[in-house]
Amino acid sequence: MNKINTPCIVFDEDRVKSNLSVIENLTIRTGVKFLLALKAFALFPTFVLIRPYVVGATSGSLCETRLGKEELGGEVHSYAPAFLASEFDDIALNSTHLIFNSLSQYAAYAKRALDLKPDLSLGLRINPLVSVSTRKEYDPCESGSRFGIRFSELREILENIEGLHFHIHCENTSCAGLELLFATIEDQIGNRLNKLKWLNLGGGLVVTDKDFDFENFVALIKAFKSKYPHLVLYMEPGAAYVWQAGYLLTSVVDIIEAEGTKTAILDVSFEAHLNDTLLGWRPSIVGASEVDADIDNHNLYKLGGISCAACDVLAEYAFKKPLNIGDQIIIEDALHYTLVKMTCFCGTLPPSIAIKKSNGEIQYLKAFSYSDYKNRLG
Ligand SMILES: Cc1ncc(COP(=O)(O)O)c(C=O)c1O
C-alpha cells in the first residue's frame, strides 16, 4: 500500500467477493431477489463483479435510473420522495419498477407512467412506522417522516398497484425489525396481500456484517414466503455489498500542536470526502483506537481535514506510535456513501480511486483534476 500515492480510495476485490458470496448464499437459501442501491455505491467500473449477484438496481433519481440501466442492467426500481415533472418521463421509460412515495404522486403520475410504458410495475412506498434504525439521523420511520404512505391512508390496494416498498433499517445487523415489519404487514394488510405481486423490504440491513443474524433472516423469510408464495420478495441494500471492503489511504501532511492538542493534518477533507463523519460516523483507523477513559491513552491526535472549515476534523484517536509528517493513515470501510457523496468543497480534489485485484495488482480507475472542480461550476 505504501506504493500508492495518497489520497486514494481502494476497492479490495477479495473483500468484495467475500461479501458477494454471502449475498449469493442468502439468495440460494431464501429466494429473495437482491437489488443494488446506487445511492450507497455507484462505482460502475466494478459492476462487472457485482452484476451476477443482483437482479438489478434501485434508484433515487434520473441519474441513478440511467446509470442502473446502462451499467448494471436487469431491473431498475425507481423511487424518490417526489418525482420531478422535468424528469418523470425519462425515469418511467428507463425503469422496470416505479414506486410512488405519496398518494398525490400516485394520482399525478400512475396513469401517465402506464401510458408511456404499459409493462411498468407500479408500487407504493409504505411507512409502517417501525422505528428500528441504529442511526437516528437516518431513521426513515420517525414520527412525521416525509417517507411513505401510512397504512391508515391505504384503505384498499389502488388500481394498477402491483407492489409495496418498505425501508425501515439503517446499519442494522439484527432481524428484530424485519420480524416486526412482517407482523405489521400481516396485521395491517394481510388479507389484501393476494392482490399484490411483490414486496420490497428495502435496504439498511447489513447482511454481510460478521454479526448479521443470518439464520434468523433465513427463517423469517422462509416463514413469510410459505404463507404468501405468490409474492416476489426484494431487498435493496447498498452498503452491504462493499461493507468493510475498501479503505481510504491518506498521508499526514503536517502536525499542529496547540493548547495541548495535537492535530495531524491529512491530505483529505472529512467535510468534502467523508461527509458522514460530520453526522457522527467514527471510522476505524489502522493502528489507532478510540480514546478510552479507563486507560492511560498515548499518542493522542485529532485528525484534521485539508479544507478550511473548522468542523473538518475528527475528534481524537489514540495511536500505537507517535505520528510523523509523511506517515500513511488508513481509514477503514470507506466505500459506501463516500464516493457517491464527495464534493470539491474549498477546491479540494476527491481522492483518486483504485482497485486492489485478487492477484495483488493495483488498477487505477480515476484521478481527479482541476477540470473536475471547474466543470461543475460553469
Ligand atoms: C429507499 C432506500 N433503499 C435502500 C437504501 C440503501 O440502504 P443501505 O445502503 O443502508 O443498505 C436506502 C438508504 O438510504 C434507501 O433510502
Whether residue 97 has its Cβ less than 6 Å from ligand 1: no
Q: How far is the CA of 214 from the centre of ligand 1 (A)?
A: 19
Q: How far is the CA of 129 from the centre of ligand 1 (A)?
A: 16
Q: What is the pTM of this model?
A: 0.97
Q: How far is the CA of 126 from the centre of ligand 1 (A)?
A: 14
pLDDT of residue 297: 84
- Statement to judge: residues 363 and 300 lie in one domain: yes
> What pairing do the DSSP bridges indicate for beta strands 288-290 and 313-319?
antiparallel
- Statement to judge: residues 235 and 268 lie in one domain: no
- Please indicate, yes or no, if residue 64 is contained in any of the structural domains: yes
- Please indicate, yes or no, if residue 10 is contained in any of the structural domains: no
- Please indicate, yes or no, if residue 111 is contained in any of the structural domains: yes
Instruction: Tell me the β-bridge partners of 33.
Output: 234
Domain count, the chain: 2
CA distances from 161 to 229, 322, 348 (A): 18, 61, 46
Which CATH number is 110's domain given?
3.20.20.10
Whether residue 123 has its Cβ less than 6 Å from ligand 1: no
- Statement to judge: residues 278 and 158 lie in one domain: no
pLDDT of residue 157: 84
**For the chain, what percent of residues have pLDDT higher than 90?**
94
Domain that holds residue 313: 246-334+342-375
If you average pLDDT over residues 308-313, what whole number do you get? Answer: 97
Whether residue 167 has its Cβ less than 6 Å from ligand 1: yes
Ramachandran angles phi, psi of 191, nearest 5°: -80, -5
What is the residue with the minimal CA distance to atom 5 of ligand 1?
203
Q: How far is the CA of 131 from the centre of ligand 1 (A)?
A: 15
Residue finishing a domain among 214, 242, 270: 242
Q: How confident is the model at residue 349 (pLDDT cuts 50, 70, 90)?
A: very high
Q: How far is the CA of 219 from the centre of ligand 1 (A)?
A: 23
Whether residue 57 has its Cβ less than 6 Å from ligand 1: no
Q: How far is the CA of 138 from the centre of ligand 1 (A)?
A: 10
Which residues are CB-contacts of 271 (< 8 A; sequence separation ≥ 6)? 278, 305, 307, 309, 311, 312, 345, 346
Q: How far is the CA of 303 from the centre of ligand 1 (A)?
A: 29
From the CA of 237, give the closest atom in ligand 1: 11
DSSP string, 336-347: TTTTTT---GGG
pLDDT of residue 200: 98
CA–CA distance, 277 with 334 (Å, rounded to integer):
11
Single-letter code of the amino acid located at 164:
L
Which CATH number is 268's domain given?
2.40.37.10
Whether residue 245 has its Cβ less than 6 Å from ligand 1: no
- Statement to judge: residues 194 and 120 lie in one domain: yes
Whether residue 202 has its Cβ less than 6 Å from ligand 1: yes
Whether residue 240 has its Cβ less than 6 Å from ligand 1: yes
From the CA of 236, give the closest atom in ligand 1: 4
pLDDT of residue 48: 98
CA–CA distance, 338 with 353 (Å, rounded to integer):
11
Which residues are CB-contacts of 130 (< 8 A; sequence separation ≥ 6)? 141, 168, 177, 180, 181, 184
Residue finishing a domain among 178, 211, 242: 242
> Over 90: is that where the pLDDT of 135 sits?
no
- Statement to judge: residues 72 and 212 lie in one domain: yes
- Please indicate, yes or no, if residue 6 is contained in any of the structural domains: no
Q: What is the dihedral of CA 125, 213, 335, 12, to 10 degrees?
A: -140
Ramachandran angles phi, psi of 96, nearest 5°: -105, -25
Q: Where are the beta strands (DSSP E) in 93-204?
A: 97-100, 121-127, 149-150, 161-165, 198-200
- Statement to judge: residues 213 and 284 lie in one domain: no
pLDDT in tens, 188-208: 999 999 999 999 999 999 999
- Statement to judge: residues 94 and 196 lie in one domain: yes
Q: How confident is the model at residue 293 (pLDDT cuts 50, 70, 90)?
A: confident
Which residues are CB-contacts of 274 (< 8 A; sequence separation ≥ 6)? 248, 268, 281, 283, 331, 334, 338
